[in-house]
A and B are shown apart, each in its own frame.
Chain A
């Protein structure tokens, strides 16, 4: 069965610290990969996505993610976090040709301390 694992449940960082959130998936074929962000009290918004091509993708607000096929990973990174990055972050996988299935990880709560 398809699954998405986010190993960090809660992360607390000081402003300007670097961020890396882990995401691993279990699917042997080609997948589309996403990171969504949910700010407090708001809905999920797309941060970035990977379909094919350059495995290092850049998203909004200085976020980037690297697809490493051999590790089944799609980790999210940001060199220097800000207080406004405090939010819940969700990794999602959508295998092609599966009738629009989307699988979300359990989310990682990020708190940035000013």
Chain B
């Protein structure tokens, strides 16, 4: 079991650039979650998928954020255009029944 795999581990980009974060859930897990963690707001749920279908995206901050899950083994979170306030650690997590299994996160810095 390789766990939830996220890439890249670190991303530094300039304001206005497009950023794509990637996640490979644990094989057999049918639910996938994207979280954002900051000092100010803690851990926030952005969106989650069940069986590749987005179920709740009410946590997505604005239209600059989009997430896809084209198949059971891959998901992306895209920010376009990026802004400095998007700087955070983005976690992907997956689950079958319970509990959640988290990836190592992507630390995003937008300058």
Binding site for B on A (CB under 8 A): 32, 34, 36, 42-46, 49, 51, 90, 92, 94, 99-102, 104-107
Contact = CB atoms under 8 A, between A and B. Distances in A.
Contact of A42 (B42, B48, B104): B104
Nearest to A107: B42
27 contacts: A32-B98, A34-B98, A34-B100, A36-B100, A42-B104, A43-B102, A43-B103, A43-B104, A43-B105, A44-B91, A44-B93, A44-B100, A44-B102, A46-B99, A46-B101, A90-B43, A92-B100, A94-B99, A99-B55, A100-B50, A101-B56, A102-B33, A102-B45, A102-B100, A104-B42, A104-B45, A106-B42
Contacts, number: 51
B31 interface: yes
A92 B103 CA distance: 17
B22 interface: no
Chain B, interface size category, equals 20 to 34
Given A44-B102, A100-B95, 16 more contacts: A32-B99, A34-B99, A34-B100, A36-B100, A43-B91, A43-B105, A44-B91, A44-B100, A45-B102, A46-B100, A46-B101, A94-B98, A94-B99, A102-B100, A106-B43, A107-B43
A105 B37 CA distance: 12
B43 A104 contact: yes
B99 A49 contact: yes
Nearest to B98: A32
Contacts of B45: 102, 104
